């Protein structure tokens, strides 16, 4: 579903990604781990077509970036630590706006379905500015799944959430992943990643330095795997 070959990203003289290779099979949930400044957000921005690679090949669902970016965007849902929502519009107005941009048919039933999925149907007519951070993040996930994408990218979705909001977000993420979607998530929250992901990759100094499946962890845990990957 995602194929990345020898990806390089430079900002001026600074090289962030250094020949990164990355493959994700359909239905996999990959937790992309790594220290601050490792290039996780830059990598996800390239996958989401918001940034161009300096060198290398990126394909999502068989479409190449950046040449077939529009086709990729139609199959992609992105959630970052920013909500990507308009504070002066209501929850349903935000979703309606994005539904129009994505050219969805039968918008209203789909909007209701998504609002129910993220548990905000009873707040659909409230302005987003009145929502807590956790509610905004749930609505952001609703926005990202509105067009039923095959691939979901989550960039630090737990940032700024308290314990209750994080637990609620867990349920929404599990629901999103259980629908057969391919998911890539960056997070510093190793425990949460361990609960959700089926594969764990460590990105460090611009390349993937280690990768293991849930089964590959054996009796170990993600924290031990992560520490070992950073030390090698």
- List residues binding other proteins (CB under 8 A): 45, 48-52, 70-71, 73-74, 76, 78, 80, 82-89, 93, 97-98, 100-103, 127, 143
Least CB distance from residue 51 to other proteins, whole Å? 4
Least CB distance from residue 203 to other proteins, whole Å? 19
Burial of 41 (C-beta count, 10 Å sphere; 0-12/13-18/19+): middle
Residues with Cβ within 8 Å of 110's Cβ and at least 6 positions away in sequence, in order, are 99, 104, 146
**Nearest CB to other proteins, comparing residues 42 and 222:** 42
**Nearest CB to other proteins, comparing residues 6 and 10:** 10
Cα separation, 148 vs 181, in Å, equals: 9
Least CB distance from residue 63 to other proteins, whole Å? 11
Structure tokens at 124: 């659909």
Least CB distance from residue 151 to other proteins, whole Å? 12
Cα separation, 125 vs 91, in Å, equals: 6
**Nearest CB to other proteins, comparing residues 130 and 228:** 130
Least CB distance from residue 164 to other proteins, whole Å? 22
Least CB distance from residue 186 to other proteins, whole Å? 15
**Nearest CB to other proteins, comparing residues 133 and 205:** 133
**Nearest CB to other proteins, comparing residues 5 and 133:** 133
**Nearest CB to other proteins, comparing residues 48 and 204:** 48
Least CB distance from residue 36 to other proteins, whole Å? 19
**Nearest CB to other proteins, comparing residues 144 and 173:** 144
Burial of 67 (C-beta count, 10 Å sphere; 0-12/13-18/19+): exposed
């Amino acid at each position: 579903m995602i194929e990345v070959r020898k990806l390089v990203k430079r900002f001026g003289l600074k090289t962030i990604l250094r020949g990164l290779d990355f493959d994700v099979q359909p239905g996999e949930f990959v937790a992309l781990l790594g220290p601050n400044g490792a290039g996780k957000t830059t990598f996800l921005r390239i996958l989401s077509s918001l940034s161009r690679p300096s060198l290398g090949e990126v394909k999502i669902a068989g479409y190449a970036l950046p040449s077939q970016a529009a086709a990729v965007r139609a199959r992609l849902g992105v959630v970052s630590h920013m909500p990507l929502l308009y504070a002066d519009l209501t929850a349903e107005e935000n979703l309606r706006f994005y539904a129009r941009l994505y050219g969805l048919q039968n918008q209203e039933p789909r909007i209701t379905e998504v609002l129910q999925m993220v548990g905000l149907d009873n707040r659909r007519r409230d302005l987003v500015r009145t929502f807590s951070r956790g509610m905004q993040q749930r609505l952001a996930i609703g926005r990202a799944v509105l067009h039923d994408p095959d691939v979901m990218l989550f960039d630090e979705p737990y940032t700024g959430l308290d314990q209750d909001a994080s637990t609620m977000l867990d349920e929404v993420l599990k629901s999103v992943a259980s629908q057969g979607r391919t998911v890539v998530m960056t997070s510093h929250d190793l425990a949460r990643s361990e609960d959700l992901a089926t594969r764990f990759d460590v990105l460090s100094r611009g390349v993937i330095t280690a990768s293991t499946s849930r089964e590959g962890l054996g009796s170990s845990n993600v924290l031990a795997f992560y520490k070992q990957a950073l030390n090698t």
